[in-house]
Amino acid sequence: MVLPVCAMAKEKTAPGLVFDASKGVAGSVSMPEGKIVNYTAYTNLYYVTNIEDATSQYLNVFVPEGADESTPIFMPNYVGGYMAAQPRSINPGDASGRALAEGYVVAIPGARGRNSVKISKKGKPIYVGRAPKGLLDLKAAVRYLRHFDPWMPGNAERIISDGTSAGGAMSALLGATENHRAYAPYLKEMGAADERDDIYAAVCFCPIIDLEHADMAYEWLYGCTNRVSRPLTDAQMKVSEELASRYASYLEGLKLRKPEDGSPLTDHNYKDYIKELLIKSAQAAKDFGADIPDTLGFTFSNSQTFAPPVNGRFMPPRESSPHRRMIPGNRQGEYITGLDLDRYLNYVVSTIPLKTPPAFDSNGVAGGEASGEYEEFGDETGGSIHFTDYSLRQATGNGEATIEAKTKELVMLMNPMSFHSDSGATVAEHWYIRHGARDRDTSFPVPINLAVKLQNEGKDVNFKLPWNRPHSGDYALNELFDWIKSIL
């Protein structure tokens, strides 16, 4: 069925959205373990009518054999570095291939990004993908899937979005800003379908979010590495200390509660909570046979405390205990009992150097250069702008300067932390959030705050700092797809 008959999907200025179910093309993909998955592909489905970038504002949909109206839709995005992402084909090596092999419909939308350009009639570049355009495109893709749900295999009420890093941020934003009226005028102007844009679940690998607080969080956490394993100039040192000192009040303002027992999570006990999460991560890896070197800062139940804890306490065996003789030397015991966080953070830095302060809104501050985020908040002319008062003041030397209201609005639209308490939005029920235990692209409190806030709001959140993972995504796919099965 063609909807509506008057428009062709391929036309760049299509007057209406189109889905033609007769246009499916058969294909197949060979999975790494040899399984062949046959599918029908619907490609180049433009999800808005006012197309500004025909290379990215469409989606490709892959329907595996056996899928029907009730099949969940897995929707990965390939946004990275806040840059434009083209809609891809199925990749057997990543979550798209796995999802297809699991029998899910896979919808892969493209999205504009900070580098999206169209050329004006006068030959000048116009930047058409700056914030919040990439997010709007993904929302439009969700609306498209819902608009044509009756005619397309797959259930648009079961969309599971997936992304990594900036794409993880997009996935978090899709989940946290559903149906929010703040985005409605933009979506209308773009010619997105007039539909809801909520999703069922958000999978977020190392989401680079909360950009206006991420600089502070970074220095608050990694300050202990300054001039230990992180060389800094005097100017950078000063910026690091100033930013770090501003984070406590933000943390207090979040009014988070520990999901485990409901007790307040504040600046005073937050680092202990990070330790708990890291110990849990290392312990899980150790249980699976990983070697956790003694040098990273962990303490272990050693031969003297070999016995499992009794009432939560490790009981040192007496001199005459048989354990003493059974375990030679001072071998690591079964349990990780503590962590020297400063030592661990210096270890992380030794594996990959940190960003210099400020980590994100860096341009012109203590010798910093423009980051991707700085460009993300630029305008159509290609100009880029500061998105925090702190960096604006540092870069301009004007201690009174504040970012413009327009920028503030953009920053808010791009932060999943902005919206949870807003009555206009709904929030996805199911969340899978991962940030590697060795990932320093943003600091641990950033994803932790998101996970805890969602849990405090009663959402179903599966959160971990997976052991030894650097900045990366779409890993441990068995675990991910077991989780997906569990929520469906």
Which residues of this protein are in contact with ligand DHB, per CB under 6 A? Answer: 80-82, 165-166, 208, 372-373, 441
Helix (H) or strand (E) run with residue 45 in it: strand 36-46
Token couple for 134: 């990439």
198 versus 210: smaller Cβ distance to ligand DHB: 210
Least distance (Å) from ligand DHB to the CB of residue 83?
8
Q: Which residues, listed in sequence order, are joined to residue 41 by a DSSP beta bridge?
A: 25, 62
Both tokens of 189, joined, read 């102007």
CB-wise, 27 or 372, nearer to ligand DHB? 372
Based on CB atoms, which residue is closest to ligand DHB, 80 or 97?
80
Query: Which of residues 197 and 376 has its CB atom nearest to ligand DHB in the complex?
Result: 376
* Closer of 82 and 431 to ligand DHB (Cβ): 82
Write phi, then psi, for 189 (nearest 5 degrees): -60, -35
Contact at 8 Å (CB) between 343 and 211?
A: no
Q: Token pair 């909520």 is at which residue?
A: 198
Tell the smallest beta-carbon distance from residue 67 to ligand DHB (Å).
Answer: 30
How far, in Å, CA of 163 to CA of 208, rounded?
11
**Helix 341-351 with 270-287: angle, nearest 10 deg:** 70
Q: How far is the CB of 57 from ligand DHB (least distance, A)?
A: 20
3-state secondary structure of 72: strand
Residue 237 burial (CB < 10 Å; 0-12/13-18/19+)? middle
80 vs 109, which CB is nearer to ligand DHB? 80
For the CB of residue 480, give the shortest distance to ligand DHB in the complex, in Å.
19
Q: Which of 262, 263, 296 is nearest to 279 (CA)?
A: 296
Residue closer to ligand DHB by CB (options 156, 354) is: 354
Q: Which residue is nearest to ligand DHB (CB)?
A: 165
Q: How far is the CB of 355 from ligand DHB (least distance, A)?
A: 7
Task: Name the phi and psi angles at 51, rounded to 5.
Answer: -80, 125
Distance of closest approach, residue 163 Cβ to ligand DHB, in angstroms:
9
> In terms of CB distance, is 153 or 358 closer to ligand DHB?
358
Question: Minimal distance in Å, beta carbon 232 to ligand DHB?
Answer: 19
Residue 326 burial class via C-beta count within 10 angstroms: exposed 0-12, middle 13-18, buried 19 and up: exposed
Q: Which is nearer to ligand DHB, 53 or 215 (CB)?
A: 215
Closest distance to ligand DHB from the beta carbon of 80 (Å): 4
Which amino acid, 300?
F
**Contact between residue 198 and residue 158 where contact means Cβ atoms under 8 Å apart:** no
Residue 64 or 168 having the CB closest to ligand DHB: 168
Question: Minimum CB separation from ligand DHB for residue 90, in Å?
Answer: 21
Task: Please choose, from the candidates 167, 199, 211, the residue with its C-alpha nearest in 3D space to the C-alpha of residue 412.
Answer: 211
**Between 82 and 298, whose beta carbon lies closer to ligand DHB?**
82
Shortest distance, CB of residue 475 to ligand DHB, whole angstroms? 14
Instruction: Write down the least CB distance from residue 420 to ligand DHB, Å.
Output: 22
In 104-233, alpha helices (H): 133-147, 166-176, 184-190, 211-222
Q: How far is the CB of 477 from ligand DHB (least distance, A)?
A: 19
Residue 479 contacts by C-beta under 8 Å, 6 or more apart in sequence? Answer: none
Partnered with residue 106 across adjacent β-strands are: 62, 74
Rounded to an integer, what distance in angstroms lies between the CA atom of residue 323 and that of residue 328? Answer: 9
At which residue do the structure tokens 């996935």 appear?
171
Q: Closer to ligand DHB at the Cβ: 135 or 190?
A: 135
Q: Are 44 and 55 in contact (CB under 8 A)?
A: no
Q: What DSSP element (H or E) covers 26? A: strand 25-30
Nearest to 487 by CA among 193, 102, 186, 160: 160
> What is the DSSP secondary-structure string of 317-353?
PPTT-HHHHHS-TT---S-EEEE-HHHHHHHHHHHSP
